[in-house]
Structure 1
Amino acid sequence: MAISFNNALGIHQYTVGVRERNSEVISTNIAQANTPGFKAKGMDFQRALQAATSEASIGLSRTNGRHIAASTNVTGEVLYRVPNQPDTGDGNTVDVDVERNLFMQNQLRHQASLDFLGGKFKNLTKAIKGE
């Protein structure tokens, strides 16, 4: 009998990737906190998760017939955030305190998904071994 990883692992296999992408976006905001004119960006986690679970992909165009055909999974759209603070005069919309809190929340949820996946793999290993 074949094991369906989609059924066995559930949604956590997708949340890990979306959380990693969200972490990249937030850390970019933190890194650009002092850059004049930089606009803070963010992801809609639910939309990104829906895109990841739908297994939608974007086909990459080939400009030459000898190029390898490839596609990439859609991991969510990155949008500009509505600023929480008034403009400080340099056009930068990053609020470092908000970004740090979002980063911490995202990392905690990422770790929770990894822990759930670890438990699922542990149970699959036990099932395979017949324990």
Structure 2
Amino acid sequence: MIGKLDDYLRFHESALSLRSTRQELLASNIANADTPNYKARDVDFASALKGVLARSEGVAPALTGTAAKHLPGNGVAASTVPGGKVETMPDGTPLLYRAPAQGAVDGNTVDMDLERNAFADNAIRYEASITLLNSQIKSMLTAIQGGQ
């Protein structure tokens, strides 16, 4: 029982931590909208969450193919910058660089409309996760206390 509860809360902890880190990245993109040669960064939330959960369970994340003829992946992140360096978040999740919809003269890849939308979407999802977790904890407390 305690193990299941721990796993359940670990999932929410991982998801909220990842959302928080993504929010910082998006805020950094917005703050650097006028910085020459700044490259907008983001993370693929779904794959990052799967990777974090796999690492917390002690399972190495693996790349899988959808057909028998696919070559096995070598684990290199798709976020390689021109210098060959792969940037990662503190938990090892690879940072991705946005491909600009329209190039800028100064080399900046921040699209303010896209960044604002991603920022607002992430903030709403973060708040929804907090609200859901709060509701579930209250339900557990009610069950423990016997519905007093």
The answer to whether the superposition gives a TM-score over 0.5 is yes
Residue 4 of structure 1 aligns to a residue whose secondary structure is helix
Q: Specify every segment of 5 or more residues in structure 1 that has no aligned partner in the other structure, as ranges.
A: 57-72
Paired with 1:19 and 1:83, the residues of 2 have a C-alpha distance of 23
Within the alignment, does 1:99 sit opposite 2:99 as a pair? Answer: no
TM-score by length of 2: 0.69
2:103 partner amino acid: P
Residue 92 of structure 1 aligns to a residue whose secondary structure is coil
Over 3 Å counting, the alpha-carbon distance change for 1:2 and 1:47 in structure 2 is closer
2:64 is matched with none
Paired with 2:8 and 2:43, the residues of 1 have a C-alpha distance of 27
CA positional deviation for 1:118: 0.3
List per-residue Cα deviations over 1:47-66 (Å, max 9, x = no partner): 1101221216xxxxxxxxxx
Paired with 1:43 and 1:92, the residues of 2 have a C-alpha distance of 18
2:146 is matched with 130
CA positional deviation for 1:12: 3.2
List per-residue Cα deviations over 1:8-59 (Å, max 9, x = no partner): 5484332211111110110000000010010111101111101221216xxx
CA positional deviation for 1:92: 0.6
TM-score by length of 1: 0.77
Higher relative contact order (CA 8 A, sep 6+): 1
2:69 is matched with none
1:44 is matched with 44
Percent identity between matched residues is 37
1:28 partner amino acid: S
List per-residue Cα deviations over 1:98-118 (Å, max 9, x = no partner): 100000000111111111100
1:77 is matched with 94
Q: Equivalent residues in 2 for 1:10-29 (5 A)? A: 11-29=11-29
Tell me which protein shows more strand as a share of its residues: 1
Q: Specify every segment of 5 or more residues in structure 2 that has no aligned partner in the other structure, as ranges.
A: 59-89
